[in-house]
Amino acid sequence: MTTSERTTTSERGGGAAVSERVVTTRSARANAHIGKHAQTIAIGVVLVVLLIFFAFSADRFATTGNILNLLRQISPTLIVAIAMTFVISTSGIDLSVGSTVALSGSLLAIVLQHGWDPTLALVAILALGALIGFVNGWFSSYQNIPPFIVTLAMLSIMRGTALRATEGYSTPIDGELWIVQLGQGRVAGIPVPVILAVVIAAVGWLTLTRTPFGRYVIGLGSNGESLRRTGVNTRKVGLAVYVLTGLAAALAGVLIATRLSSGSSNAGSGFELEVITAVVLGGTSLFGGRGSMLGTILGALTLGVIANGLVLLHVSPFYVQIVQGAILLLAIFANSKVWARFGAVRK
C-alpha cells in the first residue's frame, strides 16, 4: 500500500510529490551519514593541511625516503590502534599495551639469546600477548571490573615483569636471524612493518564493518544489555577484543625490538597514549557504539606526520609529547561537543 509505494519512490531518489514524512527521514539519513563521516573527513582535512605545511617548511619531509621512514615508524602504533578501535568501540579501554610492547620485545631478545628458534620464539611471544589480553578481558568482561582499572594494573604488572626479566638492561638481538627482517626488511622497497600494518588495517576494517563480530562489537558499546537479550554471548565478544589488543601489542613489541636489534624493558613508554589518541582522533567514541577504522588510520598517520615533521623542523622532541597530549584532549573535546551536533553521537 502507500507505505511501500512511498518507500520505493524515496529509495529511487526520485518523485517530487513525496510526502513530508519521507523528506524528513531523508534528511535524517543525510544527517546520520554526515555525522558518521564528519569526523573522518575532518581528520582527513587536518592531515592534508599538515602534509602541505611540512612539505613546504621542512626540506626533507616530502622525500620518498622520509615518507617510508615515517610509515615504518607509525606501523606499530597503527597495528595496535586497529585493535584498540575494537576495544574502544565496546566502550572499553586497554592501557596495558605499552607495557606489553616492552615485555614482548624484552622476552623475544632474551629467548633468542638463549638459542630459541626464531619462529618458535615469535609464536610464543604472540601467544603470550594473547594470554595477557585474555586476562584483561576475563576480569573486565566476565567479572565486570572496569577495564580502566584492570588494564592499569596489568600495565604495572607487565612493565615490572619486563624490568625484572632484563634487570633494566637492553638485550641485543643477533642481526643474522631471519626475524630481524620483520623490523628491518623491505619487500619491493616497502618496509615489512608497513606491509603488515596495511594488511592488518584492511582485515580490521573488514571485520569491524562487514562481519557479525564487528556488528556485535558496536552493539556491545551501544547497548550491551540489548545485545545480550538478542541472544549474543556478549561476554565472549567483550573478552575477544582484549585478546586482539594483546596480540597486536605483542606483534608491535616484536617489530620495535627487531627494528632496533634489541629488546628493552623501557620500550613502549607512552605508547598507550599514542594509540588511544590515534583512535579517538579518528572519531571512535570513547563511550562506545561508534568506531571508524578509516578514522583510526588517518589518526595514526596524523600523529606520525606531526612527530616526524616537528623533528625535521628541529623542534625539541620533548614538545612532541606535549603536542600529543594536547591533541588527545582536543580530540575528545571535539568528539563529545562538536560532532554531537550531527545527532549521531550519543551522550
Contact set with other proteins (CB under 8 A): 1, 3-4, 6-7, 10-11, 21-22, 25-26, 28-29, 31-32, 206, 210-212, 215, 218-219, 221-223, 225-233, 289-290, 343-344, 346
Q: How many CB atoms lie within 10 A of CB 11?
A: 9
List phi, psi (to 5°) of 10: -70, -30
Provide the minimum distance between the beta carbon of 1 and other proteins in the complex, in angstroms, as a whole number: 8
Provide the minimum distance between the beta carbon of 146 and other proteins in the complex, in angstroms, as a whole number: 21
Cβ closest to other proteins, residue 118 vs residue 221: 221
Give the C-alpha separation, 242 to 133, whole Å: 5
Cβ closest to other proteins, residue 36 vs residue 186: 36
Extract the C-alpha cell encoding 17: 510529490
Provide the minimum distance between the beta carbon of 339 and other proteins in the complex, in angstroms, as a whole number: 13
Phi-psi region of 285 (alpha: psi -120 to 50; beta: other; left: phi over 0): beta
Cβ closest to other proteins, residue 60 vs residue 229: 229
Provide the minimum distance between the beta carbon of 233 and other proteins in the complex, in angstroms, as a whole number: 7
Residue position matching grid coordinates 597503527: 78
Element (H, E) at 342: none
List phi, psi (to 5°) of 94: -125, 105
Element (H, E) at 303: helix 293-312
Provide the minimum distance between the beta carbon of 5 and other proteins in the complex, in angstroms, as a whole number: 10
Element (H, E) at 212: helix 212-229
Extract the C-alpha cell encoding 48: 592534508
Amino acid (1-letter code) at residue 61: F
Provide the minimum distance between the beta carbon of 24 and other proteins in the complex, in angstroms, as a whole number: 9
Alpha carbon distances (Å) from 48 to 51, 52, 205: 5, 6, 22
Cβ closest to other proteins, residue 221 vs residue 253: 221
Residue position matching grid coordinates 512511498: 6
Q: Give the SS3 label for residue 205.
A: helix
List phi, psi (to 5°) of 181: -60, -25
Q: How many CB atoms lie within 10 A of CB 211?
A: 11
Provide the minimum distance between the beta carbon of 40 and other proteins in the complex, in angstroms, as a whole number: 15
Cβ closest to other proteins, residue 202 vs residue 315: 202
Provide the minimum distance between the beta carbon of 248 and other proteins in the complex, in angstroms, as a whole number: 20
Give the C-alpha separation, 256 to 270, whole Å: 14
Provide the minimum distance between the beta carbon of 283 and other proteins in the complex, in angstroms, as a whole number: 13
Cβ closest to other proteins, residue 10 vs residue 151: 10
Cβ closest to other proteins, residue 11 vs residue 167: 11
- Do the bridges between strand 186-187 and strand 171-172 make them parallel or antiparallel, or are there none, so unpaired? unpaired
Cβ closest to other proteins, residue 31 vs residue 269: 31
What Rg value do the Cα atoms of the chain yield, rounded? 22
Q: Give the SS3 label for residue 267.
A: coil
Cβ closest to other proteins, residue 142 vs residue 319: 142
